Amino acid sequence: MHLSTSLKSFLVVACVVVIADQVTKALVISNLYLHEVRPVLNGFFNIVYTTNTGAAFGFMAGAGRWRDVFFQTVSVFALTGLLYLYHRSPDRSYPFFWGCSLIFGGALGNLIDRIHYRYVIDLLDFYIGPYHWPAFNIADSAITVGGILLALHFLHTSARPQCKDFT
């Protein structure tokens, strides 16, 4: 199988995200107890060890066993669709390349957790005073940044003048 240079670069970036995500999670698992909090910047940032059986912000966390199958299936379809979108797209701007690569790596990192643990490990806890943002991980960060980059790509692409066929 021959992979284009662009697709190889895409996969390298995605693998870097997966490795960074899995290494940070392994470090948290091996150095913290479940629900332990380690302050890094008082009043702003902690490293924590928490789990999330749901999606973003714990959505569907209380659902039954079908939830695991649902999230794993959706993840596989999303990864396949993203790879297809990237491979077939004629317009690969830098935001498109980075957006797709980061989302792919992040989705794969969280899918690995879902298959291995049946939940996702979260470790980054940002807060101001008593107001905490829900804990997240490197994969979640990559998905968020990738989503912003893809949105910028598509907004820029849709703002271009379109050629009209008058025949």
Q: Contact at 8 Å (CB) between 2 and 119?
A: no
Q: Is 122 a catalytic residue?
A: yes
Distance CA 103, CA 149 (A): 10
The reply to whether 140 belongs to the active site is yes
Q: How many Cβ atoms are within 10 Å of 19's Cβ, its own excluded?
A: 13
Q: Radius of gyration of the chain from Cα atoms? A: 18
Give me the sheet containing 120-128, strands edge to edge.
Answer: 37-41, 45-52, 120-128, 131-132
Alpha-carbon distances of 152 from 28, 81, 140, 143, 158, rounded to whole Å: 33, 19, 18, 14, 10
Identified catalytic residue from 21, 113, 125, 140: 140
What are the residues whose beta carbons fall under 8 Å from the beta carbon of 64, sequence distance 6 or more? none
Place of tokens 């297809």: 84
Which residue is catalytic, options 21, 113, 122, 125?
122
Residues acting as catalytic residues: 122, 140
